[in-house]
Amino acid sequence: MVVVRDIEFYSLCEHHLLPFFGHVSIGYIPDGEVVGLSKLSRVVEIYARRLQIQERMTNEICNAISEGISNKGVIVRCEARHLCMQMRGVEKSDSVTVTLEATGCFASDAAMKQDFLSLLTKPEEKRD
């Protein structure tokens, strides 16, 4: 499994024209070849730079990687803070939105998905 964790991004909500920002983590199982790690960050950048909603962005990143490289499965987790939630409407300043999209073995094998999610926990956050 190849994992790139905490890729920073900034985007604009297409509904409210306010920023949302956070981190994307990507995992994939290579099928014969690997891709340069910076290419994964570039895919995040391509989709984040559009007027966007987080749910679609997560899906588009996952699909682009799944279709663009030879793999047995791709998983993308996105965690973001939305200024539309913090500044207007309900004004919940501590809210965080998490989205997850998976293909291949990550979609069909709960243990693989859990392995990926466990790798996203920073050492100081692990609990015994």
Catalytic annotation present for 54 = yes
Catalytic annotation present for 16 = yes
Catalytic annotation present for 15 = yes
- Residue type, position 103, single letter: T
Q: Which of 52, 78, 82, 101 is catalytic?
A: 82
Catalytic annotation present for 84 = yes
Catalytic annotation present for 60 = no
The answer to whether residues 63 and 48 touch, using CB atoms and an 8 Å cutoff, is no
Q: Which of 23, 45, 79, 84 is catalytic?
A: 84
- What is the 3-class SS of 9-71, one letter each residue? EEEEECCCCCEEEEEEEEEEEECCCCCCHHHHHHHHHHHHCCEECHHHHHHHHHHHHHHHCCE
Token duo for residue 54:
């987080």
Q: Which of 16, 23, 45, 86 is catalytic?
A: 16
Catalytic annotation present for 13 = yes
Catalytic annotation present for 62 = no
Catalytic residues, which ones? Answer: 13-16, 54, 82, 84
